A and B are shown apart, each in its own frame.
Chain A
Amino acid sequence: MISVRVQPEDFDGGAELAALEGKGGGAVASFTGIVRADDGVEAMTLEHYPGMTEKALTALADHAMGRWPLCGVTVIHRVGTLRAGDRIVFVGTASNHRAAALEACTFLIDRLKTDAPFWKKEHRRSGDSWVDARSADDAAARSWD
């Protein structure tokens, strides 16, 4: 019921949604994150902490399963070098009703941003820079405590 993947490869959002639709619930919600071309960003490199990343994402999915009546959770996060416009993250939830699916999906992406060990380095023509954590993301994650 829980599928967590950390991978350099792209993913097929349609296939992931179809798999969740096959879980027997009445509602599927999802979030797909795309690399933005902010301020001339041409690409970014995603670093992570192998082992802990999968553990942290699975713990979040387990928490969501315990908090909402879900019949499926899928979390996919890409690592390595991605270009502007590339898919970077997918969160999908399946439930009997829309509120649980939508809330659990929002919870998962909010908490993924503060609890999972990923770091983004942006590549611009002018040079490379590590992305700073945003206080707005911390506030969004804490709103689920």
Chain B
Amino acid sequence: MALDILYFAWVRERVGIGGERIDLPAGIGTPLDLANWLAARGGGYAEAFADPARLRCAVDQDIVPLTADLANVAEIAFFPPVTGG
């Protein structure tokens, strides 16, 4: 199933792109699984996803824990804790 991944702030800078579309690999059930799978690509991905505890994520534009279920999700975003206001 196609999944759009978006990156923001220093996650975007380290990965080097704002987003991409992937086919969700078998066995990836949560954002944490996906973060570890992305880290295994190495390079900027490894830097961005080295410490998942520093990351937050949103699925279909709702903030959720990294342990959320990725089934039937169309869009996921990874980013640092937010700092607006």
Contacts and interface: CB of A to CB of B under 8 A. Distances in A.
How large, as a class, is the contact surface on chain B? Answer: 10 to 19
A130 B82 contact: no
Given A52-B61, A55-B61, A130-B80, A47 B9 contact: yes
How large, as a class, is the contact surface on chain A? Answer: 20 to 34
Contacts, number: 70
Given A33-B85, A109-B85, A112-B85, A117 B8 contact: yes
User: Is the contact region of chain A dominated by helix, strand, or loop, or is it mixed?
Assistant: mixed
Contacts of B77: 49, 52, 117
A117 B85 contact: no
Interface of A: 33, 46-49, 51-52, 55-56, 77, 88-89, 109, 112-121, 130-133, 137
Interface of B: 6, 8-10, 12, 58, 61, 63, 77, 79-85
